[in-house]
Structure 1
Amino acid sequence: MEQTEINNLQTIQDFWNKRPWVIAGPCSAETEEQVIRIAQQLKATGKVDVLRAGIWKPRTRPGNFEGVGSKGLPWLQKAKQLTGLPFAIEVATAKQLEDALKHDTDIIWIGARTTANPFSVQEMADAFTGLQLPVLIKNPVNPDLELWTGAVERVLKSGIEKVALVHRGFSSYGDTEFRNAPMWQLALEMKRRFPDLPFIIDPSHICGNRHMLQSVTQNAIDLDYDGLIIESHITPDEAWSDAKQQITPEKLDELLNAIVWRKERVESPLIHEELEKLRRQIDRLDDELLQLLYHRMKVSEEIGFYKKEHDITILQTERWNQILERVCRNGALAGLSEEFIKRYFDAIHLESIKHQDAVMNKK
């Protein structure tokens, strides 16, 4: 291995070991001048670890800007030589990966559309065999954790040792303030499934705008994410793609300064002792909740016996609507969101139906 390759691997290893990660750059590489200028400005902040840029841009419909293609790779290579910043790009085919490797690409990411297609992920995994570069895997466009999990498993099986997860939000129906709804509960479940893999936020694609970037990033850091990958452009309003969600390096610097970078653990025995006291309270309350749920299900079973004796259906829509109306009203008085109350009591209702069904259909 040549000395330049060894130095490059040491740089990536240093990056892999540090926290938090800050990966930044334009949605798309547009011109050589643009790529070099943004790299220099990001380097000047002293906070960016890796330059990112889109070379190939998958689009839902033809006719939109689909990236400059492989001719943009030498631009990133030159920006790396001038600034020392390693760079990351998205690839979706084995040919794109081959071109990327010819130009000293440091980090690869698999995009949301690719993650949603197991055939495409397997093609990439086969192409990764024998390589040592890090691979970031974005969540699929649709809210399907099994697709995301499968993508991770395929890449790990290929022999890639440095794998990280990127939460970029999920497509959803209906009006929402987000471009892609974060659906934090799905991301946290993925984090639980792969606790040893780095997990970062992509606030640009979640928000689709600039004004929410800081709050979404802070939410992620509060949930113990390991950093962020964010879009930054020298002149965001003139960007060839995703102009509304990109920010200048100066604004990025301000955003990073405003973030409270929290830690999962603290060394102070006094702080730890106080936290443990509160956690013990939570444990006791959880035990009480479980006992209350146990007694509630016992009452549901008694109702099931009554319904069986009198040939009454399990589901009583009018009664359920009355319950929801009451608990949502009382929940609001207790400072609980309607969304949480409905989700919580929907789960309780389904469990009650199971208990009544077991009673009514027991042989």
Structure 2
Amino acid sequence: MQSALFNRQPNDKPYLISGPCSAETEEQVLDTCQRLAATGKVQALRAGIWKPRTKPGGFEGVGTKGLPWLKKASELTGLPIAVEVATAKHVEDCLAFGVDILWVGARTTGNPFSVQEIANVLRGVQVPVLVKNPIHPELELWVGAVERLQKAGLEKVGLIHRGFSSYGNTDYRNAPMWHLPIEMKRRHPDMPLLCDPSHICGRRDTLFTVAQQALNLGFDGNMIESHQDPDAAWSDAKQQITPEVLKDLIQALVWRHETTDQREFLTALASLREQINQLDAEIIQLLGRRMAVAEKIGEYKKENDITILQTARWNEVLERAQRQGNSVGLTPEFVEQYFAAVHLESINHQNSVMNR
């Protein structure tokens, strides 16, 4: 059964993969999947067969015996099925049961040995494979996993953004860090990109916001976990919703297009983008002038044997920038990240002066 995810047209509606976090029983899988199909909103079904856990002792999935349940759900609903794989044996079992879509989980993406093992067993097999971002925000690991699969000859490789583990993060189970999937999309513009709000949020009440943001950014769709009785789920109960609640969520989402042929809109957008181009050019020129001044400061420090890093001065610059940024509607997080980058570049320029 072919997945329409890799044959999408510009005006196709967002793609939705849904199903329980874990396959628990045949009854649970079949009931959930049939109710999902009845919503008319789901393009593919999912369920965790093997569940990697941080510590031993937790529910780690029913294993291969759950694959016939998913296969039966597919036969009853006419929808393709998707399963996470982490080893060559997982892949072999899925292929034996005719699983339509495979995905590589976050923990596996971060292990090049595991990804290569999966790529090796898939060599010569044309099955769609989606790659979740690694747990930690390391873009090159994500890129590397994709490239390993492509080098094995796989033509249908896609991406899933499921958020990243970050120290001090409290709003999300896994911080979205939207700039990373955006950069992946820039590098792979023709590759399908889905969002996994369930793992980003870790709870039901914020699923809609993240799912909507993904569509606002031009993602191809979402993967959202659904269970017949979420509170009784054997894994990740807090982030799952019933098929009926999922239907309401999907209906409430605003579906936006990447472009339009309306001349008035295109003319106005071109004008505004040209303003952005001019402002960007001015910013680059100002940054160049700033670095020239930083080099002069470096020369004075060198002549007087003064260290490059001046903590009190850096704090002064950052505090002033925060006040000014706040007055023009810039978030404190953006100002800090921007000036940290500028400060590092200034240090590099001064260091080059010191080393002459």
TM-score (norm 2): 0.96
- Measured against aligned partners, the alpha-carbon deviations of 1:20-63 in whole angstroms (never above 9, x if no partner) come to 21000000111111111111111111110000000110111111
Conserved 8 A contact 2:198-2:207? yes
Deviation at 1:149, TM superposition (A): 0.9
Aligned pair 1:194/2:188, yes or no?
yes
Aligned counterparts of 2:348 and 2:114: Cα–Cα separation in 1: 40
Instruction: Flag the 1:173–1:318 CA change in 2: closer, same or farther, 3 A.
Output: same
Q: Confirm or deny: 8 A CA contact 2:169 2:175 kept in the other structure.
A: no
Task: Identify which of 123, 128, 134 aligns with 1:134.
Answer: 128
**Which amino acid letter does the alignment assign opposite residue 246 of structure 1?**
Q
1:303 offset after TM fit, Å?
Answer: 1.4
Q: Which amino acid aligns with 1:212?
A: T
Contact map agreement 1:39 1:85 (CA 8 A) in 2:
no
1:74 to 2:74 alignment:
no
Separation in 2, partners of 1:293, 1:269: 36
- Aligned counterparts of 1:106 and 1:152: Cα–Cα separation in 2: 19
- Which of 282, 289, 296 is equivalent to 2:290? 296
SS at match of 2:70: helix
Correspondence for 2:332? 338
What is the TM-score normalised by the length of structure 1?
A: 0.95
Of residues 191, 198, 202, the one that matches 1:204 is: 198
Is the deviation greater in 107-116 or in 306-315? 306-315
Amino acid at match of 1:275: L
Aligned to 1:17: 7
User: Compared with structure 1, are the counterparts of its residues 128 and 317 closer, same or farther at alpha carbon in structure 2 (3 Å cutoff)?
Assistant: same
| Matched residue type, 1:33 | E
| Cα RMSD after superposing both structures | 1.1
2:274 to 280, 289, 300: 280
Q: Separation in 2 of the partners of 1:94 and 1:229?
A: 24
Fraction of identical pairs, as percent: 62
SS in 2 for 1:81: helix
Counterpart of 2:316 (choices 292, 312, 322) is 322
2:226 is the counterpart of 1:232: yes
Secondary structure, aligned partner of 2:222: strand
Q: After superposition, give the CA deviation of every residue in 1:219-269 in whole Å (9 maximum; x if it has no partner).
A: 111111111111011111111100000011111111111111111111111
Partner of 1:5: none
- Which ranges in structure 1 are unaligned for 5 or more consecutive residues? 1-7
Contact 2:85–2:104 (CA under 8 A) maintained in structure 1: yes
Relative to structure 2, which stretch is displaced further, 303-312 or 216-225?
303-312
Q: 3-state SS of the aligned residue for 2:340?
A: helix
Aligned residue number for residue 3 of structure 1: none
* Separation (CA, whole Å) in 2 of partners of 1:164 and 1:211: 27
Q: Aligned to 2:205, what secondary structure does the other structure show? A: coil
Are 2:26 and 1:36 aligned? no
